Amino acid sequence: MVSIMLHRLISLAATVVVASFGALSPAVAQTFPDRAIRLVVPFPAGGGTDLIARVLGAGLQPEIGQPIIIDNRPGAGTIIGTDAVAKAAPDGYTLVVATFANAANPSLKAKLPYDPLNGLTPVILLARSPNVLVVRKESPFKSVGDLVAHAKQKPGALNYASQGVGTSAHLAGELFNSLAGVQTTHVPYRGASQALNDLISGQVDMMFATSAAVASFLEAGNLRALGVTTSQRSPTHQNIPSVGEAGVAGYAAESWYGVYAPAGTPPAIVERLNAAINKVLQSQDFRKRTEPEGLVIAGGAPQVLDSYFKGEVARWKKAIADAGIKPE
């Protein structure tokens, strides 16, 4: 009898605790945030992801009434910055801008310091965009066909830059090698700015750079675009053929940007962040400042990002295996 009564008391206490947490959620949402939010960018300053994060932060700050601190934490193909957020307190005050690399890393790394599928809570898919195959303005290559022909004549002679192992620029190049039947050499950098500087100076031959990273260089005439990596022409780069259209059949890859919080972040806080960021994405200022960079604004519920991310993980797992890339 005592055992039965004790069991009932424990069950009642657990019910009260759960109910209490449920009752607190709306209150948490009403008071959140009451201090600055740190938005981690797992790349150096100056690249496309950094630019998007800063534009987002500038729009989000007046929307939520608190400062947005951009915290650049580059290294290990976004793993360092992402891991810092995965291990942060799940209170909504530490977020990360995730990218293509977050979906590729589970297939590139034998072991990650965080759970790529369950270690973070999706907040919102910000945008998607093509990468752009670019060469310096003095390059002898005027088309994708020129480049493929040269690469076939001289296997391994050409090299391509990326902002790091596992990034969209890296795997877009590997996919190109596989589908075009060529051999080009990958040269990873610690960020897009360094890679593009070496491309312009002639240290490397080409780059499948994010649209956001190269927009200003294309406008200034410092780089020449040969193709976009999406299956069809980009709405913001309609004068540039797709790589597939230019002769590499079946070629398709894209960059994307999303915001995640640590796993266990209360749903009410995630909803508050999601609603605020959705407003920023729909604002004229955000669109004016980002759409010239080739972005297609996404937005929507957290589940949109969750579904898209899982699809990208599966898609690039196959592409990485088909390219013969072994996990490190």
Query: In order of start, what are the domains of the chain with their CATH numbers?
Result: 35-128+255-322 (3.40.190.150), 131-228 (3.40.190.10)
CB 305 within 8 A of CB 124: yes
- In this structure, the number of other CB atoms found within 10 A of the CB of residue 120 comes to 27
b vs e for 223-241, b when ≥16 Cβ sit within 10 Å of the residue's Cβ?
bbbbbbbbeebbebbeebb
How many angstroms separate the first and last alpha carbons of the chain? Answer: 58
Q: Do the bridges between strand 120-129 and strand 296-297 make them parallel or antiparallel, or are there none, so unpaired?
A: antiparallel
CB 101 within 8 A of CB 95: no
Q: Torsion angle of alpha carbons 196, 202, 207, 211, nearest 10°?
A: 40
pLDDT in tens, 279-315: 999 999 999 888 777 788 999 999 999 999 999 999 8
pLDDT in tens, 129-169: 889 999 999 999 999 999 999 999 999 999 999 988 888 89
Residue type for position 54: R
Structure-block tokens of residue 295: 């972005």
Would the pLDDT of 265 be above 60? Answer: yes
pLDDT in tens, 58-105: 999 999 999 999 999 999 889 999 999 999 999 999 999 999 999 999
CA distances from 239 to 207, 211, 228, 270 (A): 19, 14, 10, 39
**DSSP3 helix / strand / coil % (the chain, rounded to 5):** 50, 20, 35
Can you tell me the distance from the alpha carbon of 171 to that of 186, in angstroms, rounded to the nearest whole number?
9
pLDDT at residue 79, as a whole number: 95
Q: Torsion angle of alpha carbons 164, 47, 238, 313, nearest 10°?
A: 40
pTM of the model: 0.80
- Site of tokens 């995640």: 260
Can you tell me the distance from the alpha carbon of 203 to that of 187, in angstroms, rounded to the nearest whole number?
10
Task: Give the highest mean pLDDT range of 6-15, 114-123, 186-195, 317-326.
Answer: 114-123
The three-state secondary structure class of 228 is: strand
Can you tell me the distance from the alpha carbon of 195 to that of 51, in angstroms, rounded to the nearest whole number?
16
pLDDT at residue 234, as a whole number: 86
Q: Do the bridges between strand 68-72 and strand 37-41 make them parallel or antiparallel, or are there none, so unpaired?
A: parallel
pLDDT at residue 201, as a whole number: 96
CA distances from 125 to 69, 198, 207, 305 (A): 20, 31, 25, 5
- In this structure, the number of other CB atoms found within 10 A of the CB of residue 52 comes to 24
pLDDT in tens, 27-40: 565 789 999 999 99
Can you tell me the distance from the alpha carbon of 130 to that of 234, in angstroms, rounded to the nearest whole number?
7
